[in-house]
Structure 1
Amino acid sequence: MSDYSEQVEVVCRIGIADGAVVSRPDRLRTSGLGSCVGLVMYDVLTGLSGMVHVMLPTAPADFAERLRVDGVKPQKYADSAVLWLVSELQNRGSTIRNLRAKMAGGAQMFASAGRSDVLRVGPRNVEAVETALTGCSIPLLAKDVGGTEGRTIEFDSQTQLLSVRTAKSGTFTI
């Protein structure tokens, strides 16, 4: 006889410039984090968790119009992605005081980028996410950012641990 009280764990894959919210015991995973940042936000009480795969630091001035006309996703930009994720978690019952964050990514993928701020996409993404989290009063508990190699991350909503995998460093949790 089957025990229907057991929950089935689902892995929700997050694409570039996308995001999702899940509840325990589901997992969130994204790959291809070079200069992009994978941000996880989770509610320590409700078990809700969300992830966004951020491509760029700040939304353009005409973002609201592009969102309406072109369907540009708010998850594409660090500033709007953080606000989107907070809103999605709140819509499902989370409160800001119970939210925590972890992030990984933001690598410097271009060797010559030291001279040009335009090419420092990874570090600028990290800074923009940190600024947006501070603005929302959400503590960033752990991060694995910078460097020169890409990452794949997976968040376990049960343990609230973020697994980070790189080609050179292997897998570790934060």
Structure 2
Amino acid sequence: MDNNIKIGMADYKVGEKDNILVTLGLGSCVGVIIYDSANKVAGMAHIMLPSSLEIKNNSNKMKFADTCIDLMMIELLKKNINKNSLKAKIAGGAQMFSVSLNSDSLNIGKRNVIAVKEKLKLLKIPIISEDVFGNHGRTIRFNCSNQELNIKSIGKGETVI
């Protein structure tokens, strides 16, 4: 029985108990995991861009930190979780290409991480651990049973947070 739930780019999914939430290819994108450890319920989002307000073509609400996390929270709340005990883990937000400008506007990875952190702070969900920035891609796997986030990075190996 395959208990993996795959999350594509600009998507989110909710899992529970024995599910493993998986997303591939986080470069400048950020993987956001919000979970309730007592009930073994978690959601994972693959965030591509920081804000839906900055883009004209913003019809896919799952692309953006400001809207995707809200959509995922609606699904999580349907699973009888304790909203006050939610925690988060995040990974990604790399700067995949060398940019020699003095502006962070082209550093989408950094802007994504900032947007995700601001949204989680607004929702009063503490970030327990993170693996962000750098210049390497990541694949992440979150185990809903034990709340371990396994991170595989090209050239960096594997870590668990």
TM bin, normalised by shorter chain, reads: over 0.9
Decide whether aligned partners of structure 1 residues 113 and 98 sit closer, same or farther in structure 2, where only a CA change above 3 A counts: farther
Aligned equivalent of 2:29: 36
The residue identity in structure 2 corresponding to 1:32 is G
Aligned equivalent of 1:79: 66
- Which residue, 102, 105, 113 being the options, matches 2:92? 105
**C-alpha separation in 2, matches of 1:15 and 1:53:** 7
Aligned equivalent of 1:168: 155
Q: Contact 1:113–1:119 at 8 Å: present in 2 too?
A: no
**C-alpha separation in 2, matches of 1:9 and 1:141:** 28
Query: What stretches of structure 1 move > 6 A for 4+ residues in a row?
Result: none
- 1:128 alignment partner, SS class: helix
Answer yes or no: is 1:13 the counterpart of 2:14. no
Shift of 1:112: 1.1
Decide whether aligned partners of structure 1 residues 120 and 11 sit closer, same or farther in structure 2, where only a CA change above 3 A counts: same
Shift of 1:118: 2.6
- Which residue, 48, 53, 67 being the options, matches 1:55? 48
Q: Contact 1:9–1:25 at 8 Å: present in 2 too?
A: no
Higher helix share: 1
**C-alpha separation in 2, matches of 1:172 and 1:76:** 26
Q: Say how many residue pairs are matched.
A: 161
Answer yes or no: is 1:27 the counterpart of 2:20. yes
- 2:105 alignment partner, SS class: helix
Question: How large is the RMSD of aligned CA atoms in angstroms?
Answer: 1.8
Shift of 1:81: 1.6
- 1:28 alignment partner, SS class: strand
Q: Which runs of 5+ in 1 are unaligned?
A: 1-7
**TM-score, normalised via structure 1 length:** 0.86
**C-alpha separation in 2, matches of 1:95 and 1:58:** 27
- 1:148 alignment partner, SS class: coil
**TM-score, normalised via structure 2 length:** 0.93
Q: Which runs of 5+ in 2 are unaligned?
A: none
Which structure is larger by alpha-carbon Rg, 1 or 2? 1
Q: Contact 2:104–2:110 at 8 Å: present in 1 too?
A: no
Aligned equivalent of 1:5: none
Q: Deviations over 1:84-111 (max 9, x none)?
A: 1211100221232121100100001121
Aligned equivalent of 1:121: 108
The residue identity in structure 2 corresponding to 1:77 is F
